Chain A
Amino acid sequence: MSEQLQSDFDKLVKTSKFSSEEIKFKKNFLDNFIKNGFPNRKQEDWKFLDISQIIKKNISDLSFFNDYSQSNKIDPSFLVDGLEHNKIIFINGKIEKIDFNFEDQNKIEIIDKTKKDISFDYENSLIDLNSAFIDKVFKILIKKNYSLKKPLIIYHLTNDKIKSTNINLRLDFELAENSCLKLVDYFANTTAKNFINIFYNFNLEKDSILKNYKIDKFRNNNLKYSFNNIEQDNNSVSETFILSAGSDYFKNEINCNLNGEYSSAFINGIFSLKENQQHEIRTTINHLVENTKSYQLIKSVLGKNSKSAYQGRIFVNSKAQKTDGYQLSKAILLDETSEFNAKPELEIYADDVKCSHGSASGSLDENSIFYLMSRGLNYQQSKELLINGFLMDVVEKITDVEIKNLIINIIGLKQ
């Protein structure tokens, strides 16, 4: 793999207009990645789903070079209908459109960070891969006291014009004091066997609100990794919702640092998997000061040969008194070949805290099915109604009504 990496990197350097300083940075990231390779099960964070093996098994012709000088045509049929929204459109890893047409243009700034130092300190070789091969890095700044009027939908599209089997995306967001951003990640892929590596870095200043909804619903044979780093200042709120259902493999990782008092983080997720899909959510919430709160609810519905994992870490610093941390995961196993793994990790160094975790898994309750069937519903209807109810519980946590309805429609739930 290292030869391929090296030669693809050389191609990238040749076709792009990076300065010698940028190339030096990138070379450093590349060397780190060559040294460490893809994460594997020997690392605790990767023990349930070993991405190094999964990539080896699924992508035989791994390559990293994309020619970003070519533009891709936007196929409007992939765009979300019936909901006014701002757009960022990624096609095959290249940003084809940034459009904040619904907003006050003075309140949003888009800053090209490509030429700056984009290094990010995190023990994860995928970030190195990302930084080495990324095309452009933009920072989106939402200015003080501004709430976006409409949600921003980021489209993650791939099509058959793609040149390599790996694409890397990165965006940085800065939410200035008392600003608000509703961000939807919308995945629609017409390719297969690509590894898509996404990194978002959020900085939430005082009193700001971030709502990030990730929708991977449409069945596709790609492998995805998404990493959100969220820094939170006083009284800021982050809400993350993950619908993990479409890809062959998807790991969503969230690292959230509650740096300011009264900041809070909410993470809710649904795994709806079948046919050999393997998905994971790994969260780390660092409660670093007093009076911070985190809440997590993850539910899985797992069909034949599918596997999901939830690793939820809550860290409470010795200074972080009055922390309120909660996590719960529940799974319905529809088939005896399906598998759910939960690994809660609570590391608490303060004494005046409220932290709890729970996990439960099992098959659908036969008595409940009997009850519904005795009211005239057939087995399939009864099963669907129970699953619907099981998942509705998570969807109800979505605080934005418009996006909640969008997600209910996309999943096909009944209210």
Chain B
Amino acid sequence: MLKINNLNANIENKSILNGFSLDINPGEIHAIMGPNGSGKSTLSNILSGKKGYEVSGEILFENKNLFDLETEERAHKGIFLAFQYPLEIPGVNTNIFLKTSLNAIRKARGEKELDAIEFLKLVKQKAKELKFDEEKLKRQLNVGFSGGEKKKNEILQMSMLAPKLSILDETDSGLDIDALKIVADGVNTLRNKNNSFLIITHYQRLLDYIKPDFVHVLMNGKIIRSGGPELAIELEKKGYESFN
């Protein structure tokens, strides 16, 4: 599904990713763990098409060159990024935003756009599953939401849009244990043999609830070790320094 070959990324002449390679097949969950400044967020930004990076190498998503696609086209093709810091968008009603987003993606996929009633039915059901307060959907997008509510809103968006590849950029940071379980449930519900996940995290904690197929250690812009879930436990015990 996703093939990253020898990806290099610079920002203002500073090298962030340096020969990064990764293959993700349909149905797999990959976790990337790494210390601060190892390039985790840069990776998720580049996968989503954020501007401002100088990049070389190759990223193929379902055999298409990702660099040829704009941010919104990547979303249409099924890439979703749950933001580390979801943005507050004043004056934009959460429901309107969700409906605009969902219908933009459905339209690009050649599916019928949902009318207001169909949309509300779907969003209510998803909000209920994720124990997301429905009243918040009537409010401005992320404005005045707590850190945990913002993260849950990201997972709600993910489950509404049903992407093929979901990238969770430190979605677990700042979450209490109940919220962490809800986020994990969201991922586990969406998990099937076609959908893949890339979970970026500092800690092993989230991986107690979402069982990854592969764990990778990212340091200085490249993967220095890959393994199964046991690698996360080893990291938690020994710290990143021992891998350097």
Which residues of A pack against B, CB within 8 Å?
A: 365-368, 370-379, 381, 385-386, 388-393, 414-415
Contacts and interface: CB of A to CB of B under 8 A. Distances in A.
B192 interface: no
22 contacts: A368-B89, A371-B83, A371-B89, A373-B70, A373-B71, A373-B72, A374-B48, A374-B49, A374-B75, A374-B81, A375-B157, A376-B102, A376-B108, A379-B70, A381-B104, A385-B89, A386-B89, A386-B92, A388-B91, A391-B91, A393-B91, A414-B96
Contact of A367 (B75, B87, B100, B104): B87
B101 interface: yes
B76 interface: yes
A389 B89 contact: yes
Interface of B: 48-51, 70-72, 74-76, 80-81, 83, 86-87, 89-93, 96-97, 100-102, 104-105, 108, 140, 157, 161
B91 to A, nearest CB: 3
A33 B241 CA distance: 82
Contacts of A375: 75, 97, 101, 104-105, 157, 161
A374 B69 CA distance: 12
Given A370-B71, A415-B96, A376 B90 contact: no
B90 A390 contact: yes
A390 B96 CA distance: 15
A389 B94 CA distance: 11
Nearest to A365: B87
A156 B100 CA distance: 37
A389 B71 contact: no
B89 A372 contact: yes
Given A385-B100, A389-B140, A414-B96, A376 B72 contact: yes
A392 B93 CA distance: 10
A385 B97 contact: yes
Contacts of B71: 370, 373-374
B90 A393 contact: yes
Contacts of B105: 375-376
Contacts of B48: 370, 374
Contact of B76 (A371, A372, A376, A391): A376
List the 10 closest pairs (A to B, CB-CB), nearest first: A389-B91, A389-B92, A375-B101, A376-B104, A373-B71, A376-B75, A392-B91, A376-B105, A371-B87, A373-B72
Contacts of B81: 374
B84 to A, nearest CB: 11
B101 A376 contact: yes
Contact of A389 (B90, B102, B104, B108): B90
- Of the candidates B49, B70, B100, B161, the one having the most CB atoms from chain A within 10 angstroms of its own CB is B100
A415 B100 CA distance: 12
Contacts of B104: 375-378, 381
Contacts of A373: 49, 70-72, 75
A389 B96 CA distance: 11
A394 B18 CA distance: 47
A249 B74 CA distance: 43
A373 B104 CA distance: 10
Contacts of A368: 87, 89
A120 to B, nearest CB: 39
Contacts of B97: 372, 375, 385
Contacts of B100: 377, 381, 385
